[in-house]
Amino acid sequence: MPTSENLQPTNQFVTVASADGAQVQVTLHGGHVCSWRTPDGVERLFMSPLNAWRSDSAIRGGVPVIFPQFASEGPLPKHGFARLSLWTLLETSTQIDGSGLLRLALSDSEETRRVFPHAFSLELRIEFSGQALNTELIVTNNGDQPFDFTCALHTYLSTLLAETAIYGLAGNEYRDSVDGRRIKRADQDVLHIKEEVDRVYFSVDKPITLSDHKHSVIASQTGFVDAVVWNPWENGCAKIADLMLDSYQHFVCVEAATIQHPVTLTPKAIWRGSQHLECLSIG
């Protein structure tokens, strides 16, 4: 984790392309997917034009890795330390089937043990080709005591909010963070965002589809149990220094997450969670 004495710029990207021309860019800061372009050249992730690119800040956009604590639901800094840590690059390659692959890793250090006294390793495995991106988080307990964690892949999907409809959450219970964390049930088939939305949907076992007039993105998940839908609207953007006032019009976060029931990982055990995104063009 960075201190003010060792601030580094974080806009140094590792870029990998698949044989069919899809492209992913990551930074080692945060083990962060910053860009995902499908072979038609369309950027599928939102990245804030006001992002600070500093090693003491989380990157505002792309896919932040949230570990070992979601939001402020525990003693650690908000959303944990993985998104602020310097990861190691394990592999970049093109697979035999033409897909691009990146593997990044993060292990405990003196700094992480100060706030989270456990021996762990994380691997982020990013595989992509054509219209699809699969991001897998693998957590290993290398210690001799169990530990608990919550986590998320905090994906900022690029979209035109005014034209966006979100499907697949009807019937699910959710915790509404903009309404006193009340537990509610989603009773509409379609969610149109017309104000600040910050919800943890519980036990999500069906794909979530986000459609604007041009594209659909289907987000499915394995291992992760919950899903977050977040859009700060204009009032939220006004409070977030690295978002423009109108940034909320350009993204929705659809996050694969495990929040309600933390994972308890026993010694030497491995937990895996992945988010699979697939784009469809409309018309």
Ligand X SMILES: O=P(O)(O)OC[C@H]1O[C@@H](O)[C@H](O)[C@@H](O)[C@@H]1O
Known catalytic residues are 154, 255
- Chain positions 222 to 281 lying near ligand X, rule: CB under 6 A, are 228, 230, 240, 255
CA torsion 279-236-152-115 (nearest 10°) is 150
Considering the complex, state which of residue 32 and residue 154 has its C-beta at the smaller distance from ligand X: 154
Considering the complex, state which of residue 101 and residue 243 has its C-beta at the smaller distance from ligand X: 243
The rounded distance, in Å, linking the Cα atoms of 24 and 32 is 10
Beta strands in the chain (DSSP E): 14-17, 23-27, 32-37, 65-66, 88-94, 100-107, 120-129, 132-141, 147-153, 156-158, 165-167, 173-176, 182-185, 190-191, 197-201, 208-211, 215-222, 226-231, 251-265, 270-281
Query: Rounded to the nearest whole angstrom, what is the least distance from the CB of residue 269 to ligand X in the complex?
Result: 26
- Chain positions 94 to 153 lying near ligand X, rule: CB under 6 A, are none
Instruction: Confirm or reject binding of residue 181 to ligand X (CB under 6 A).
Output: no
Cis peptide before 68 (omega within 30 of 0): yes
CA 221 to chain centre: 12
33 neighbors 43 (Cβ within 8 angstroms): no
Among 29, 44, 125, 154, binds ligand X (CB under 6 A): 154
Contacts of 118 (CB under 8 A, 6+ apart): 108, 141, 143, 145, 147
The interface region with ligand X, picked from 71-79, 106-114, 135-143, 187-195 by CB under 6 A, is 71-79
Among 29, 44, 79, 175, binds ligand X (CB under 6 A): 79
Considering the complex, state which of residue 29 and residue 103 has its C-beta at the smaller distance from ligand X: 29
Three-class SS of residue 275? strand
Instruction: Confirm or reject binding of residue 182 to ligand X (CB under 6 A).
Output: no
Considering the complex, state which of residue 83 and residue 103 has its C-beta at the smaller distance from ligand X: 83
Query: Rounded to the nearest whole angstrom, what is the least distance from the CB of residue 204 to ligand X in the complex?
Result: 14
Instruction: Confirm or reject binding of residue 58 to ligand X (CB under 6 A).
Output: yes
Query: Rounded to the nearest whole angstrom, what is the least distance from the CB of residue 83 to ligand X in the complex?
Result: 8
CB-nearest residue to ligand X: 230
Number of shown-chain residues binding ligand X (CB under 6 A): 11
What's 63's DSSP letter? B
Instruction: Confirm or reject binding of residue 63 to ligand X (CB under 6 A).
Output: no
Rule CB under 6 A: which residues touch ligand X?
A: 58, 71, 78-79, 154, 177, 198, 228, 230, 240, 255
